[in-house]
Amino acid sequence: MSKKLFLKGGEAIAEAAVRAGCRFYAGYPITPQNEIPEYMARRQPQVGGVFVQGESEIASVNMVYGAGASGTRSMTSSSSVGISLKSEGISYCASARVPMVYVNMQRGGPGVGTIQASQQDYFQATKASGNGGFRMIVLAPSTVQEAVDMTYQAFDLADRDRNPVLILGDGVIGTIMEPVVLPEMKSDEEVAALKAKHHGWAIVGHSREEKRGFLTPGFWSTDSLEAHCLELEKLYSSWEENDVQVEELYLEDAEVVLVAYGTSARIAKSTMEIMRDEGCRIGMIRPKTVSPFPARSFDRINYDTCRCVLDVEMSIPAQMLYDVRLGVKDRAPVECCLRSGGNLIEREDVVKEIKKILEGGGR
């Protein structure tokens, strides 16, 4: 059995990336994700990789764009306002079909906001990470172990789809320490083989006789651009069938179904367990991918017993609420339990909202 290590979230994510074969990291300091570049600065040289602290977020993401275009597993990370600055480079990667992984440890907003944990980048992550309407798989861990496992998986997904993949965390996930089991370290030979698989499209140096295409983030013909968009639409649609990750709990008898992701889900899940021990029939849907969103999970709720679906998130106004309502399809009332600005959801907040629903009687 693998040995458990006690690691901070940011350090664990960085080590998982290295073990997945990431050999290029470029980033710029911003709280609360600084443990990732700090760790990468030490670790990448040890495995023959490259660490660059760019002069800005914009420079860093474009370095990742260049490294990814060579077929190298590449990564960046930032927090909220820094991610906004990276959005153009991420859009280029999506258009040019360059795989890359990035991490957003969300902080409070809008604007510069606060360095404390928040979930106010949900719209940005799932609806508009850049221009042109591209989509990504967005993984939302609620523990450090999940952050490790999802980071390791993210590089495979990015390579498979030739598309950016986002790990959506927050200040809690990034800075708490928890015991984790790390995944297997890919050997130098395995890393080289992964890069070699991209030889057909990557910029790695070719002879004049070798015919190949060129990576480009744009198209000069409207016909070729539309064909490109149709190809991407096929890719995005495939995720709904194959890549939804979700945890569903007690949906068959729940009177109140909680919906939460990330740090909010930690609090919501523990609240559910305590209240079920007290005889309250509480269930839960926890999206592990917030894109694609697990809309079909809401079809498995027993609406004969469900009085209400409660959206629990650290965002005011609510953002995930819109996806929750689309999943529920007016089959039950939808209410919210919200905090914002760096204030964490507390169990008492969730209990208060649940009791209000239960004391209000049936539908």
Q: What is the pLDDT of residue 363?
A: 46
pLDDT of 46: 98
Identify the pLDDT of residue 52: 98
Q: Report which secondary-structure segment, H or E, holds 5.
A: strand 4-8
Weakly modelled stretches of the chain, pLDDT under 70: 1, 206-220, 361-363
pTM, full prediction: 0.95
Rounded to whole angstroms, the Cα distance separating 273 from 359 reads 19
Task: Tokens for 107, please give them.
Answer: 């902080």
Give dist(CA 347, CA 269) in Å, integer: 9
Domain 246-359 in CATH 2.60.260.20? The answer is no
Which pLDDT belongs to residue 216?
67
Is the peptide bond between 287 and the residue preceding it cis, with omega within 30 degrees of 0?
Answer: no
The pLDDT, as a whole number, for residue 222 is 82
Q: Which residues of the chain form CATH 3.40.50.970?
A: 4-196
Kindly list the distances between the CA atom of residue 79 and the CA atoms of 56, 71, 116, 175, in Å, as whole numbers in the listed order: 13, 26, 11, 13
CATH superfamily of this structure's domain 4-196: Thiamin diphosphate (ThDP)-binding fold, Pyr/PP domains (3.40.50.970)
Residue span(s) of the chain under CATH 3.40.50.920 come to 246-359
* pLDDT of 206: 65
